[in-house]
A = this chain, B = another copy of it.
Amino acid sequence: MSKNLTKRAEDYSKWYNELVVKADLAENSGVRGCMVIKPYGYAIWEKMQAELDRMFKETGHSNAYFPLFVPKSMFEAEEKNAEGFAKECAIVTHYRLKNDETRPGKLMVDPNAKLEEELIVRPTSEAIIWSTYKNWVQSYRDLPLLINQWANVVRWEMRTRLFLRTAEFLWQEGHTAHATKAEAIEESEKMMQVYADFVENFMAIPVIKGLKTESERFAGAEETYCIEALMQDGKALQAGTSHFLGQNFAKAFDVKFASKEGKLEHVWGTSWGVSTRLMGALVMTHSDDNGLVLPPNLAPIQVVIVPIFKTEEQFEAIKALVDSLTTSLKQLNVTVKFDTRDTLSPGFKFNEWELKGVPVRIAIGPKDLENGTFEVARRDNLTKEVIPSEGAAAYISELLAKIQNDLFGKALSFRNEHITEVNSFEEFKEVLENKTGFISAHWDGTPETEEKIKDLTKATIRCIPLDRKLEEGTCIFSGGKSVGRVLFAKAY
């Protein structure tokens, strides 16, 4: 197959849009801003879900399910929450269609079936969940509540892009309630760490852990922890957030508990989420001009085997070898596909699996039959080697681990090369125009300066790194006092 993929250097954005569709990850649907996640893309998301779900359960969380709809009045209850999200939402106002008498075969909204109170399709579930928690919490014995939900949410975005920004997307949202402030903060930090571990170890994407500034914080949160990743085009992508909600939602929805001492107190909350947006980060971190590059831990197919033959006899001999190799690989938990489609050439298949990012491709031809060898090609660095068929399974299994590692190492080097310290606004603008990436700079801590820099450069403060050095400095923009550097970048 011919790929016809735009080169990244030509037009990164076009490359991304084309790749997501051509690699069968997702496509736009007939519904404005909503995507179809295709089976190959969904298989990757399922692997992400399975691992995250395992990690959530290991840290004591249970799954539950809350309604898709939020009555308008619940939104109003938490004022800041309403400010942050309630503006661009899908709103259900009616509950019945009827035949349009004037146009045969057509349906119309029944004007007599108007809801008394409009329902918002959840853009996030704090309101509906905290209105439920009110009945679940009476005493300190009911705490902590450690609950997660896998769900679809809708935010009426005007400009959408597959995975990165869609009207409907899939995510998980954790919502926890605690007896003390310290415990809730510990939970927010723990879940940020879970996200960092997952994104680094499974997605092979290095992240920087930090705090959002007040203006980038989730409305309704006291503190937002985040992990920030860097894409190949030098733009940052927020890969996950974990919010310490203080007592904001507990107060808005009157969630109180009797403490051990018998005092009635408001509980402390957190919420945290990652979404199908991570699929976009995955594509933009590792893939290249030949197509997708998938880390072995998330690849639905880890090894593809392509037979090269002229006679039926040769095919049978190859098949016998492949059957034995496949059995050994499966014992090592490696997912293998033997591509026996008979209407396609090996060259076409090579291209297709390259486009789809399968980490390891094995080709077996007549020469290999003679020599007792396989040809092994790595998708990540496009190198090939010939290995003895004896002991091949163990070799491939180790190779997959090595590829996972190498992908992370490569992304880490790139990220580290793209963090630039600057000490003046001139330098700041220069970096933004040339090298891009994260810019580490002193900032006076005011939303006003942040806003002005954003207006002038489109760069925002991605985070205040948790591990930053505390040092006196001078804000690159205002010249005001700073207590340490923050990271700026243009972002998705």
A-side residues, CB < 8 A to B, are 27, 29-31, 34-39, 42-43, 45-46, 62-72, 74-76, 79, 82, 86-98, 105-107, 109, 118-121, 128, 131-132, 135, 141, 147, 151-152, 154, 156, 168, 170, 343
Decide: B34 and A69 in contact? CB cutoff 8 A. yes
A109 to B76, CA, bound (A): 13
A23 to chain B, nearest CB (A): 15
Residues of chain B with a CB closer than 8 A to A121's CB: 68, 92, 121
From residue A254, how far is it (CB to closest CB) to chain B in Å? 13
Chain B residues within 8 Å of A67, by CB: 29, 31, 34-36, 168
* Bound complex: CA A54 to CA B407 (Å): 31
- CB pair A72 B97 closer than 8 Å: yes
Q: Is the CB of A91 within 8 A of B90?
A: no
CB distance from A1 to the nearest CB of B (A): 13
Q: Given known contacts A69-B168, A91-B109, what 11 new A-B pairs fall within 8 Å (CB)?
A: A36-B65, A39-B62, A39-B147, A42-B64, A76-B105, A79-B105, A89-B95, A90-B95, A109-B118, A121-B121, A141-B343
Complex formed: what's the CA distance from A483 to B74 in Å?
58
Evaluate contact between B89 and A69: CB separation under 8 angstroms: no
> Is the pair B75, A97 in contact by a Cβ cutoff of 8 Å?
yes
What CA separation (Å) do A95 and B89 show in the bound complex?
5
Taken together as a complex, chains A and B put the C-alpha atoms of A131 and B31 apart, in Å, by: 11
- B residues in contact with A75, CB < 8 Å: 97, 107
CA A71 to CA B88, docked complex, whole Å: 19
- The answer on a CB contact under 8 Å between B154 and A68 is yes
A71 touches which of B31, B71, B79 (Cβ 8 Å): B31
A131 partner residues in chain B, CB cutoff 8 A: 30
A-B pairs, top 10 by smallest CB distance, nearest first, are A34-B67, A39-B62, A37-B65, A95-B156, A91-B94, A31-B67, A90-B92, A93-B93, A39-B64, A86-B97
Query: Are A93 and B95 interface neighbours, CB within 8 A?
Result: no
Q: List 17 A-B contacts (CB under 8 A).
A: A27-B135, A31-B69, A31-B119, A34-B69, A36-B64, A36-B132, A37-B64, A38-B64, A39-B62, A39-B64, A46-B63, A90-B92, A91-B92, A91-B95, A91-B97, A91-B109, A141-B343
Which chain B residue lies CB-closest to A136?
Answer: B38
Residues of B close to A65: CB separation below 8 A: 36-37, 42, 45, 170
Cα separation A316 to B343 with both chains bound (whole Å) = 69
Neighbouring B residues of A43 by C-beta, 8 Å: 62-63
Given A30-B71, A89-B97, A107-B72, the answer on whether A42 and B62 have CB atoms closer than 8 Å is yes
Q: Residue on B with the closest CB to A98?
A: B87
Q: Residues of B contacting A64 with CB < 8 Å?
A: 36-39, 42
Please judge, given known A-B contacts A43-B62, A63-B46, A72-B97, whether A107 and B82 are in contact too, CB under 8 Å.
Answer: yes
Minimum distance in angstroms from A159 CB to a CB of chain B: 14
Within the assembled complex, what's the spacing in Å between the Cα atoms of A98 and B87?
Answer: 6
Contact yes or no, B69 A90, CB < 8 A:
yes
Please measure, in the bound complex, the distance between the C-alpha atom of A395 and the C-alpha atom of B90, giving whole angstroms: 55
- Provided the pairs A95-B88, A97-B87, A98-B87 are in contact, do residues A168 and B343 lie with their beta carbons within 8 angstroms? no
A68 near B105: Cβ-Cβ < 8 Å: no
Q: Which residues of B contact A147 (CB under 8 A)?
A: 39
The distance in angstroms between the C-alpha atoms of A46 and B150, with both chains bound, is 11
A160 to chain B, nearest CB (A): 12
What is the minimal beta-carbon distance from A47 to any residue of chain B, in angstroms? Answer: 12
Question: What are the residues of chain B within 8 A of A96 when measuring CB–CB?
Answer: 87-89, 91, 156
Please report the C-alpha to C-alpha distance between residue A453 and residue B29 in the assembled complex, in whole angstroms. 45
- Chain B residue numbers with a CB within 8 Å of A141 are 343
